Amino acid sequence: PARTPAAGRGAEVLVASNRGPVAYTVGADGALTAKRGGGGLVSGLSAIGPETEAVWVCAALGDGDREAVRRADGELPAADTGGQRVRMLDIPAEVHAAAYNGIANSVLWFVHHMLYQTPLEPSFDTEFRERWAAYEAYNAAFAEALDRAAAPGAAVLIQDYHLALAPGMLRERRPDLRIGHFSHTPWAPPEYFALLPDDIRERLLRGMLGADRAGFLTRRWAAAFVACCTATLETRCAVHHSDGEAPHVVTAPPGQEPHTTQIGVHGLGADAEFLRERAHRPDVDERLTALRAQIGGGAGPERRRTIVRVDRTELSKNIVRGLHAYRRLLADRPEWRERVVHLAFAYPSRQDLAVYRDYTAEVRRVAEEINAAYGTPGWQPVVLHVKDDFARSLAAYRLADVALVNPIRDGMNLVAKEVPVVSDAGCALVLSREAGAHEELGEDALSVNPYDINATADALHAALSMPEEERVGRCARLADAATALPPARWFTEQLTALRG
């Protein structure tokens, strides 16, 4: 039942996401170490800074986090969070695992990135229903925590597919709030979304439509969401497109007043100021020297070229096909042998899921195969790094002659936006047309169909052969487009629109 919170208490702005801005580990001596949380969502939201006084509600993800929650008195210590106000929820570990691994990562992520091999998967059975119950409980825990923490009329920005039900649940408890939801992933087209059981599709859409505003990274994902609403809810929703304005979806839950959800598009950009400053600190210079030694070859115009990729080892990032394309380049164009090195950074991700562990092993295997087939005593064609190191990623960005970003499907892909901002000599960008970033960067990138290995090899050749003047010009335009909406503005833009 709706209730009015005690006046004068609670936060005016709240953010909610599964992963928060800080992650803890417990040492052998019992001491806690805090580290910045990873991923695109965290990079985007971290720029909101302590000055907004927003309270960030997130889940405890491991033993270190749980211990930190036990020791904290409500909010985590400001010294650990860079001043950001953070509340971590200690959701029971088995509920979190079933919701995060069992639904969010292996069902919703797969649907929106269209990753299923459909002759075998998915199958929705009793075990799925049990995991779904955990997903509901996990969303309910967030709705309850947000209800408790929000001041009357506060703005609440709920993030991503982990929390698709939370907007509706929160609205039921607190109709006074302004609720936003933002999707950092692509959105599936209706025919693919229809893989999900009918009641689950409806629950997900109604959950998100509980928000006053549903935001997406590109027009394409926003349009897919609206198309899914029409296809799934049929006459139980109405879509209004007014001229020059974002569409609105109106739903009338049984026995309730009609509710309007405005659809918004906010293309998160790179943070140029932060990246350029961070990329010139001594730890990055140190990594730069080490990478140069690994690349080898001479200096000057004849120096070895670098093709750089930096990803989580994520199925949708298409790392294996990227390696195959590089092998094709070396096979078909022997002139590049000894003259180019592929710096491939693939950082472990979601290793609780067997399919991710297998994929990680396959990345390693193909990289080793290429090195065995083409390597010479003075040249290692692929330099693969799997240990997450932000300073080394930035060093690779600076060195890049070519950035390879070839996902099967991606909400945005911030690497595509970050490399042109940081690259020292101006890089060329080989970019999948299925990445959200393609909507803004397509004009100056070399676009590829991510499934077409030969076309990707051709694009790598074109990128490596691009005359310097053209490469530098394109890179400057890419950097401009990439920084059009820096994270802090991306956030305030949404907040302003939500408060309407």
**Which of the residues 296 through 315 are near ligand F6P (CB under 6 A)?**
none
Cα–Cα dist 77/2, whole Å: 32
Binding track, positions 145-164, relative to ligand F6P; x by CB under 6 A: ---------------x----
Binding of residue 39 to ligand F6P (CB under 6 A)? yes
Mode of pairing for the β-strands spanning 55-59 and 85-89: parallel
**Which of the residues 165 through 184 are near ligand F6P (CB under 6 A)?**
184
Tell which residue, 204, 162, 173, has the closest CA to residue 59.
Answer: 162
Binding of residue 65 to ligand F6P (CB under 6 A)? no
Binding of residue 405 to ligand F6P (CB under 6 A)? no
Phi-psi region of 419 (alpha: psi -120 to 50; beta: other; left: phi over 0): alpha
Residue whose CB is less far from ligand F6P, 46 or 185: 185
Residue whose CB is less far from ligand F6P, 232 or 313: 313
Of 36-44, 51-59, 67-75, 332-340, the window that binds ligand F6P (rule: CB under 6 A) is 36-44
Residue whose CB is less far from ligand F6P, 251 or 413: 413
Query: What is the closest distance, in whole angstroms, from the C-beta atom of residue 39 to ligand F6P in the complex?
Result: 3
Selected binder of ligand F6P within 11, 15, 19, 420 (CB under 6 A): 19
DSSP state of 177: S
Binding of residue 41 to ligand F6P (CB under 6 A)? yes
* The residue type at 355: V
Q: What is the torsional sign of CA 207, 270, 491, 241?
A: negative
- Check if the beta carbon of residue 402 is closer than 8 Å to that of residue 451: no
What strands, in cross-sheet order, belong to the sheet with 11-16? 85-89, 55-59, 11-16, 150-159, 178-182, 213-216, 259-265, 248-251, 237-240
Of 39-47, 250-258, 337-345, 424-432, the window that binds ligand F6P (rule: CB under 6 A) is 39-47
- Check if the beta carbon of residue 143 is closer than 8 Å to that of residue 166: yes
Cα–Cα dist 84/377, whole Å: 50
Binding of residue 267 to ligand F6P (CB under 6 A)? no
Binding of residue 349 to ligand F6P (CB under 6 A)? yes
> Which tokens go with 85?
């106000």
**Which of the residues 407 through 436 are near ligand F6P (CB under 6 A)?**
411
Query: What is the closest distance, in whole angstroms, from the C-beta atom of residue 402 to ligand F6P in the complex?
Result: 22
> Which tokens go with 203?
């629950």
Query: What is the closest distance, in whole angstroms, from the C-beta atom of residue 220 to ligand F6P in the complex?
Result: 15
Distance separating the N- and C-terminal Cα atoms of the chain: 26
Query: What is the closest distance, in whole angstroms, from the C-beta atom of residue 112 to ligand F6P in the complex?
Result: 9
Binding of residue 185 to ligand F6P (CB under 6 A)? yes
Binding of residue 350 to ligand F6P (CB under 6 A)? yes
Tell which residue, 220, 415, 468, has the closest CA to residue 309.
Answer: 415
Positions touching ligand F6P (CB under 6 A) are 19, 39-41, 160, 184-185, 349-350, 411
